[in-house]
A and B are shown apart, each in its own frame.
Chain A
């Protein structure tokens, strides 16, 4: 029987590349929203009836977003085929096709937002599906990584850590949904603030849990450290976005500092989600391996 993870490694770097471009795509999408450029190109799928419209004003943001999206679509087709050809794990092979389906749906949603003049529910759905797709591609990259392939016997991954990691990832996704609703509907910020509180509590708990388990693999600790750093940065960016919005409420056009900070807020939100997905996947991996080999989580930490 082939070692499925070893054979998957051949597409790992390509999956990482796709994840990087997907992140760039999320940033490009945030720039479209921040600059109020969503309807600067009235037609779709072409832009001004062309593949190369005039690069003027906000058309740069909207058409740039479309170009990156098209490129990510092509990368995803290649990735799905590559996964299907090279990976022997049924779930991972399905994940590749699901990612392709999601990116196609996302492209159609993008077109619908243009043709139907940015209806808020569709814009929110578009924003959330972007994060879903990012999760899928990050998952494919992680599932094909050497870190995933490494054996983790007696690492001390408890069931509670596993569940906490998944709950944190879920809460972060919910928080991104609340952020998208706030941004696209101009509704009150309270739900988003409560979401931030929930995420901070869960993530803090998770990070503390990881660092209290010293035999956990480095992938988990690196992801937990990244999550903590990104979360602190995100809270600052969120505060800055809110204060800037208040200070520029009577602005007559999008202002660079506001666009920069809110775009960074969206981008860091995506990275936080990615870190939490990696944590959840890795804790699941370690936990399932321990369950399979029959090892149990020792309560007491051991010296390295």
Chain B
């Protein structure tokens, strides 16, 4: 085969490579509309407040956690000037009681066949002090997410989902908030600012409202559950058990406590 007889071959190869590269990540609008439209056709589950159950607990860690990493904002005066004290990464934030902050706890299984109303109240993701607030956020499928830029500098917001559509949009200072939705279930979607590469956040997208993020005392509480048997999932970005689970059975109006212990990645 003489290559000069096929002048378009390199272009064809390039096009094939483009197609191969992008075939795995492309989610077209029809797919998304279909996902978003299923709710209207289904019957929304109403949980009787009189029988609603609760699961709560704490997430502990075991072993030595990596030391907190100080964020190097020095090269960015617009960011460094927003802080009077050193700022540390929120990847692993241990509490004094040997619990962990920023752990996403959610009902992983047990709600099959139930459909829950999508909140119209937006969840808030702010960029403030060149960090994301909150570091970890839970939303329901198609719940609006209101993204703010409270900083005097430019950010870009770039979620890198596996299951939802990827997008990357800039946010200059003082621009109006962005409203976004995620139409597919996904635990978790990393969100990154490529302008300030230390800025990372995670969004958990679920088809129900039964999730919680641990706070300063490492505790979580999931309320309003219908009685039943559930698998509770726990997700943390750094530890070995990215998702660890525990089965729990809840009777009507029962409140059950479940603690988790996560181990450091080896």
Contact = CB atoms under 8 A, between A and B. Distances in A.
Given A39-B168, A105-B14, A117-B25, A59 B195 contact: yes
Given A57-B76, A58-B195, A253-B198, A112 B168 contact: no
B166 interface: yes
B19 to A, nearest CB: 10
Nearest to B156: A42
| Band of interface residues on B | 20 to 34
Contact of A58 (B14, B91, B166, B194): B194
A302 interface: no
Interface in B161-176: 166, 168-170, 172
A59 B72 contact: no
Interface string B17-43: 110111001000000000000000000
B89 interface: yes
B18 A122 contact: yes
Interface in B70-87: 71-72, 76, 78-79
Given A42-B170, A112-B18, A253 B154 contact: no
Interface in B121-173: 153-154, 156, 158, 160, 166, 168-170, 172
Interface in A22-75: 35-43, 48, 54, 56-59
A122 B20 CA distance: 10
A188 B159 CA distance: 26
A142 to B, nearest CB: 24
A125 to B, nearest CB: 6
Interface string B226-241: 0000000000001000
Contacts of B196: 57-58
Nearest to B89: A252
A42 B156 CA distance: 8
A117 B168 contact: yes
B195 to A, nearest CB: 4
Given A116-B22, A122-B18, A40 B69 contact: no
B25 A119 contact: yes
A251 interface: yes
Contact of B72 (A42, A105, A119, A253): A253
Q: Give the one of A122, A125, A253, A255 with max B CB within 10 A.
A: A253
A116 to B, nearest CB: 6
Contact of A40 (B22, B66, B156): B156
B66 A250 contact: yes
B200 interface: yes
B113 interface: no
Nearest to B157: A42
A108 to B, nearest CB: 9
B22 A58 contact: no
A37 B156 CA distance: 11
B69 A251 contact: yes
B197 interface: yes
A301 interface: no
A121 interface: yes
A120 B17 CA distance: 11
B165 to A, nearest CB: 10
A43 B17 CA distance: 22
10 contacts: A40-B195, A41-B170, A42-B156, A48-B172, A54-B154, A56-B76, A56-B154, A57-B154, A58-B194, A116-B21
Given A54-B154, A116-B22, A125-B14, 15 more contacts: A36-B197, A40-B195, A41-B170, A42-B169, A54-B172, A56-B153, A56-B195, A58-B194, A116-B25, A120-B21, A122-B17, A122-B21, A252-B198, A253-B197, A255-B72
The 8 closest A-B pairs by CB, nearest first: A119-B21, A57-B195, A253-B198, A40-B194, A252-B89, A121-B21, A39-B194, A42-B168
